[in-house]
Amino acid sequence: MNGITIIEQACPRCAQPRTVRVGTSSTLVCFNCRHLWNGLDSEVISVADLAAAVDYPFTSGELGRLEAYRAAVRAGFYRDW
């Protein structure tokens, strides 16, 4: 499985000064707002594209459910308490 590397590049959405590079790809992830994008051209990418960048053990159906769940969490539908 490919690793992650913390880099000094600000997130284009929330301006968090440090983001994470996934594996050897140009995919960047912000752990503050969970924004995913291509670090070369600021193109927003999906969770499925991120899975292609790493050796993910999830199927495409599982990744689709994960994207729906993440959207529900961002909308405030699910909470920890």
48 burial (CB, 10 Å; 0-12 / 13-18 / 19+) is middle
Q: Residue 42 is encoded by which pair of tokens?
A: 């600021």
Is the pLDDT at 79 greater than 80? The verdict is no
Domain spans of the chain, in order of start: 4-74
Is pTM, for the whole model, over 0.75?
no
Check whether 1 has a pLDDT greater than 60.
Answer: no
Query: What is the DSSP secondary structure assignment for residue 63, as one 8-state letter?
Result: H
The predicted-structure confidence for 21-33, as pLDDT tens digits, reads as follows: 877 777 888 888 8
Task: List phi, psi (to 5°) of 51.
Answer: -65, -35
Q: Which residues pair with 21 in a beta bridge?
A: 5, 28
